[in-house]
Chain A
Amino acid sequence: MREALRSFRVATWLGWQIESNWTDPFLFFVYSIVKPVASVMILVIMYWVITRTDTTSPYFAYMYLGNAAYIYVGSILVGVSWAVIDDREHYQTLKYIYVSPIKFYFYLLGRGMARFLTGSLSVAITMGFGLLVLGLPIGLGAIHWPYLGASMVLGLASLAVLGLLLGAATLQMARHYWSVGESVAGALYLMCGAIFPLDVLPAWLRPLGFALPLTYWLESLRRAVLGAEASRAISPSLAGLSDGQLLLILLVATLISSVMSIYFFRWSEHRAREKGLIDMTTHY
């Protein structure tokens, strides 16, 4: 366990260095602001162009919150799979890391943690922009903080294990590995109702959305921040679930994903050693 914690801590530090030391702190700060704000402003303008209403409507807050929280999906999910690509193909250090006395599973978790930290900066900036500039109808006093905390812990845990699943899959790939994380994040953006309720999806696509832990994470997050009634009114297909049931589903889904990720990771690691994929460089 000590070795696992050490691997996690060192990988987090390494990941943070890779993410932030490519430039001076000022440019890094600008980079951290511009990208998430531009992302969210695309949706804000799409919303304004059509509705011509102010930003105090509950639907606007529903969309905005989902999009802000989704930054974590992009960061963590893509971050873990990129760690494999970066270390193996770009820096060509994966083989050295692998033979060092670390727990590889926790090493990749640590790299995901670094992306969580940079993602948190983006989420904070996006939410701050929403509250201060766009006047989001969110009262800090009205937020159900314990429920929000539980939702965040479970949601981020599910993201971490999904990231490890993706990282393990990336380890097996020789082609298109660089687009896998972004593509999966793009698919989940559609399926889990990040910016619209699942009811808008065609009936044949909805079951996929209901099978994803992220759907329940985003819904519980919205209930904690916007209030259960407002969220239920916008998303009727999840309205039948109580707040407790949402968290329970999220917990079970996270546990199932964790078990799957551990077994899949072990299989992938074993196969990578057999096939010589740990030190593979494809220049693809």
Chain B
Amino acid sequence: MLGRERAEVNRGVELFLRTIVARAYPRVIGANREKSWIFFETLLPLLSVAAYVFFYRAIQAPEEYIGLVVVGGAMTAYWLNVLWSMSAQLYWDKDAGNLTLYIAAPSSLMAILLGMAVGGLFMTTTRAVAIIAAGWLLFGVQFSLQYWALLLLTFIITMAALYGLGMVFASVFLLWGREAWHISNLLQEPIYLASGFYFPVKALGFWVASAASLIPLTLGLDAMRQLLFPTGPTLGFLDVQLEIGILVGLALIFVTASKFALDYMEGRAKQEGRLTERRR
């Protein structure tokens, strides 16, 4: 490769990375500047999780089910983050007038979305950790960290696949107006149901659980539960290693698809004049 070409590639990579940092910056710094989010984003969502815990207690469920709810409740934070702070974010940015600036800047929309993901992960992980900690302290949930390395690996691959899916969604949301809000809203409870956030997904039966596995959190959550609880494998849907393999495949597919989808949708949005449209 010629020196000039290499310099251009290096500059492109640098710009990509700088864009990620720049978009993640306001989310991370904003969270540190204004601490009130800790109350709203950790304590209050915990109350909803607690309702499901007490429901299981009311029907005298075995204690491992309380653990399932706590882990599921913690992972809802990531799904909500993908829906509202990533997919629908381009709609909010369009509304606020930022989207045109993103497009006009000499940077990639994918880098901007990755920056959103990195910044969002910080806040979301705090919320998830708070729910896990509360589950341990308030409900006496016992977690096993025997397979912590595999657990961490599963989590990272799940997040890669999930945020890849989020980027695909974001490209579709680029074209939407007011319906973006409703579609995000619609994708909450049905996904909690299909992915088994509050019960083992295998309870849905093989075919439904298999179809739901297209959503990365289904298999990610199932694998993490199997690794976190001694009785987890009895409640698991597939073997953990197989689930990790499928998640790697999903991550590759979604991240690649998001690149094509973003390019296509950006072009279409430009042609149809949707980037500056503010249909409220």
Chain B CB within 8 A of A128 CB: no
Chain B CB within 8 A of A1 CB: no
Asked whether A190 lies within 8 Å of B203 as measured between CB atoms, the reply is no
Asked whether B186 lies within 8 Å of A190 as measured between CB atoms, the reply is no
| Interface residue total, chain B, C-beta cutoff 8 A | 42
Asked whether B182 lies within 8 Å of A31 as measured between CB atoms, the reply is yes
Chain A CB within 8 A of B155 CB: no
Asked whether B47 lies within 8 Å of A45 as measured between CB atoms, the reply is no
Scoring B residues 175 to 207 as 1 if CB is less than 8 Å from chain A, else 0, what string do you get?
Answer: 000110110011011101100011110011000
Given contacts A63-B55, A175-B36, A195-B55, contact A48 B47 (CB under 8 A): no
Asked whether B50 lies within 8 Å of A46 as measured between CB atoms, the reply is no
Scoring A residues 73 to 99 as 1 if CB is less than 8 Å from chain B, else 0, what string do you get?
Answer: 000000000000000001100000000
Chain A CB within 8 A of B44 CB: yes
CA distance A31 to B46 in the complex (A): 27
Name which of A146-154, A179-187, A217-225 contacts chain B: A179-187
Partner among A42, A51, A91, A283 whose Cβ is within 8 Å of the Cβ of B198: A42
CA distance A186 to B51 in the complex (A): 8
Partner among B52, B96, B186, B200 whose Cβ is within 8 Å of the Cβ of A283: B96
Interface residues of A in 169-210 (CB under 8 A from B): 175-176, 179-180, 183, 186-187, 189-190, 194-197, 200-201
CA distance A42 to B188 in the complex (A): 12
Chain A residues contacting B182 (CB-CB under 8 Å) are: 22-23, 31
Chain B residues contacting A183 (CB-CB under 8 Å) are: 40, 44-45, 47
CA distance A186 to B50 in the complex (A): 10
Chain B residues contacting A197 (CB-CB under 8 Å) are: 58
Scoring A residues 8 to 48 as 1 if CB is less than 8 Å from chain B, else 0, what string do you get?
Answer: 00000000000000110000000100110011011101111
Chain A residues contacting B60 (CB-CB under 8 Å) are: 50
Scoring B residues 240 to 280 as 1 if CB is less than 8 Å from chain A, else 0, what string do you get?
Answer: 00000000000000000000000000000000000000001
Scoring B residues 30 to 57 as 1 if CB is less than 8 Å from chain A, else 0, what string do you get?
Answer: 0000101100110011011011101111
B186 to chain A, nearest CB (A): 6
Chain A residues contacting B40 (CB-CB under 8 Å) are: 176, 179-180, 183
Chain B CB within 8 A of A142 CB: no
Scoring B residues 19 to 39 as 1 if CB is less than 8 Å from chain A, else 0, what string do you get?
Answer: 000000000000000101100
Asked whether A46 lies within 8 Å of B47 as measured between CB atoms, the reply is no
Asked whether A189 lies within 8 Å of B55 as measured between CB atoms, the reply is no
B238 to chain A, nearest CB (A): 18
Given contacts A175-B34, A179-B40, contact A42 B48 (CB under 8 A): no
Chain B CB within 8 A of A133 CB: no
Chain B CB within 8 A of A59 CB: yes
CA distance A45 to B198 in the complex (A): 9
Asked whether A45 lies within 8 Å of B203 as measured between CB atoms, the reply is yes
Chain A CB within 8 A of B59 CB: yes
Asked whether A50 lies within 8 Å of B189 as measured between CB atoms, the reply is no
Asked whether A45 lies within 8 Å of B193 as measured between CB atoms, the reply is yes
Scoring A residues 43 to 69 as 1 if CB is less than 8 Å from chain B, else 0, what string do you get?
Answer: 101111111000000010001000000
A2 to chain B, nearest CB (A): 31
Given contacts A46-B198, A183-B44, contact A195 B179 (CB under 8 A): no
Chain A CB within 8 A of B65 CB: yes
Partner among B190, B199, B203 whose Cβ is within 8 Å of the Cβ of A38: B190
Asked whether B36 lies within 8 Å of A189 as measured between CB atoms, the reply is no
Chain A residues contacting B56 (CB-CB under 8 Å) are: 46, 50
Asked whether A186 lies within 8 Å of B47 as measured between CB atoms, the reply is yes
B199 to chain A, nearest CB (A): 5
Chain A CB within 8 A of B7 CB: no
Scoring A residues 116 to 146 as 1 if CB is less than 8 Å from chain B, else 0, what string do you get?
Answer: 0000000000000000000000000000000
Asked whether A45 lies within 8 Å of B54 as measured between CB atoms, the reply is no
Chain B residues contacting A194 (CB-CB under 8 Å) are: 51
A67 to chain B, nearest CB (A): 10
CA distance A41 to B212 in the complex (A): 15
Chain B residues contacting A187 (CB-CB under 8 Å) are: 44, 47
Chain A CB within 8 A of B61 CB: yes
Most chain A C-beta atoms within 10 Å of own C-beta, residue among B48, B57, B60: B48
CA distance A190 to B52 in the complex (A): 8
Chain A residues contacting B204 (CB-CB under 8 Å) are: 45
Partner among A43, A49, A189 whose Cβ is within 8 Å of the Cβ of B200: A49
Chain B residues contacting A175 (CB-CB under 8 Å) are: 34, 36-37
CA distance A200 to B250 in the complex (A): 41
Asked whether A48 lies within 8 Å of B185 as measured between CB atoms, the reply is no
Asked whether B199 lies within 8 Å of A49 as measured between CB atoms, the reply is yes
Partner among B34, B55, B179 whose Cβ is within 8 Å of the Cβ of A46: B55
CA distance A122 to B176 in the complex (A): 25
Q: Which 9 A-B pairs have the closest CB atoms?
A: A183-B44, A196-B58, A186-B48, A38-B190, A38-B189, A190-B51, A176-B40, A50-B61, A200-B58
Q: Residues of B at under 8 Å CB distance from A?
A: 34, 36-37, 40-41, 44-45, 47-48, 50-52, 54-62, 65, 95-96, 178-179, 181-182, 185-186, 188-190, 192-193, 197-200, 203-204, 280
5 CB < 8 A contacts A-B: A35-B186, A49-B200, A175-B36, A190-B50, A194-B51
